[in-house]
Amino acid sequence: MSNHYNFAYLDEQTKRMIRRAILKGVAVPGYQVPFASREMPMPYGWGTGGVQVTAACLTPEDRLKVIDQGADDTTNAVSIRKFFQRTAEVAVTEHTAEATVIQTRHRIPERPLTAGQILVYQVPIPEPLRFLEPRETETRRMHALEDYGLMHVKLYEDIARNGAIATSYAYPVKVEGRYVMDPSPIPKFDNPKLSGTPALQLFGAGREQRIYAIPPFTEVISLDFEDYPFEATKAPHACDLCGDGGSYLDEVITDDAGGRMFVCSDTDHCASRQAAGHRGRLSPQEDAA
């Protein structure tokens, strides 16, 4: 390998510290383990927490996929993928099924994950109680006492004001009946996929210096109320390119006259369906030949 870099960029001492934090996170699902985050050669908004977790996990045998809002081809995703190609010499892929490690920002792939896969989330604000209580000593105490009344009050105020729980991203969950956890800013449409998956899910927050985990086959419940049950909503359309009525969609403005289309946010999912012959409302016409 290259002599100019440590394997996966970080030095061995740092990776050991991160690895120990990951293992404690796995042992206490949903609990935020503090760790000493390192400077990475990219800005915080680019998911340095996720990058450090990925760096601590990668082996040369891995095949890495990086997605940003479901897409493999954004600047952020391409940069992180190249970074690990160069520093860890790992193989990369855009296909969910082929990946052993997937680093993600804001989405869970549509394709169900499998045993042996690790999904690493980039997390901006790991503390789900932070908007309700700015003091770290207080939020720690609340987690310690399992005192989540304030969170329920906030969600109920949402209902009183809007007639429904307005939170649509970073929708709080309870892990294995114990810790309330921020699933990172994934759309609440993705929340059901957090629960019971055969894959291991790891979460890294760089600026806030926290690592947490959901082991495989762990129960993850979105907080709700008996009279206002949680709903994994999405735009009421099918994808205009692949016709999927069940995937999470992005709205794309197509012209100045207000034209718009809905397309899968998961680009690998959409491309795979199109390659398999699925068509949507705005798919190019087939050649008559």
Which does residue 235 touch among Zn ion, other proteins, none (CB within 5 to 8 A, set by kind)?
none
Q: Mark 165-194 with x for binding to other proteins (rule: CB under 8 A) and - for no binding.
A: -----------x-xx---------------
Which does residue 108 touch among other proteins, Zn ion, none (CB within 5 to 8 A, set by kind)?
none
60 vs 245 by CB, closer to other proteins: 60
Angstrom distance (rounded) from CA 207 to CA 48: 8
Cβ of residue 184: shortest distance to other proteins, in angstroms? 19
33 vs 102 by CB, closer to other proteins: 33
The interface with Zn ion within residues 204-263 (CB under 5 A) comprises 239, 241-242, 244
Which does residue 171 touch among other proteins, Zn ion, none (CB within 5 to 8 A, set by kind)?
none
Cβ of residue 264: shortest distance to other proteins, in angstroms? 29
Q: Which residue has the tokens 């099918």?
A: 238
179 close to 31: Cβ distance less than 8 angstroms: yes
151 close to 145: Cβ distance less than 8 angstroms: no
Q: What crossing angle do the helices spanning 12-27 and 48-57 adopt, rounded to 10°?
A: 100
Q: Which of 49, 50, 204, 264 is catalytic?
A: 264
Q: For this structure, is 30 an active site residue?
A: yes
First to last CA, the chain: 51
Q: Which residue has the tokens 């954004």?
A: 74
Which does residue 113 touch among other proteins, Zn ion, none (CB within 5 to 8 A, set by kind)?
none
Q: Mark 187-226 with x for binding to other proteins (rule: CB under 8 A) and - for no binding.
A: -----------x-x-------------xxxxx--------
18 close to 37: Cβ distance less than 8 angstroms: no
Cβ of residue 250: shortest distance to Zn ion, in angstroms? 10
Interface with other proteins, residue 120, by CB under 8 A: no
Binning the chain into helix, strand and coil, the percentages to the nearest 5 are: 30, 20, 50
H/E stretch holding 221: strand 220-222
207 close to 44: Cβ distance less than 8 angstroms: yes
Q: For this structure, is 270 an active site residue?
A: yes
Interface with other proteins, residue 16, by CB under 8 A: yes
- Please provide residue 260's backbone torsions phi and psi, each rounded to the nearest 5 degrees: -150, 160
Q: Which residue has the tokens 């809007």?
A: 162
H/E stretch holding 15: helix 12-27
Q: Mark 255-274 with x for binding to other proteins (rule: CB under 8 A) and - for no binding.
A: --------------------
Q: For this structure, is 264 an active site residue?
A: yes
Q: For this structure, is 57 an active site residue?
A: no
Q: Which of 47, 49, 239, 280 is catalytic?
A: 239
* Residue selected from 264, 265, 268, 272 as contacting Zn ion according to rule CB under 5 A: 264
Show Cβ contacts of residue 80 under 8 Å, excluding neighbours closer than 6 positions.
Answer: 42, 46, 47, 51, 54, 66, 103
Angstrom distance (rounded) from CA 135 to CA 161: 26
In the complex, the residues that contact other proteins under the rule CB under 8 A are 6-8, 12-13, 15-17, 19-29, 31, 33-34, 56-61, 140-141, 143-145, 176, 178-179, 198, 200, 214-218
In the complex, the residues that contact Zn ion under the rule CB under 5 A are 239, 241-242, 244, 264, 270
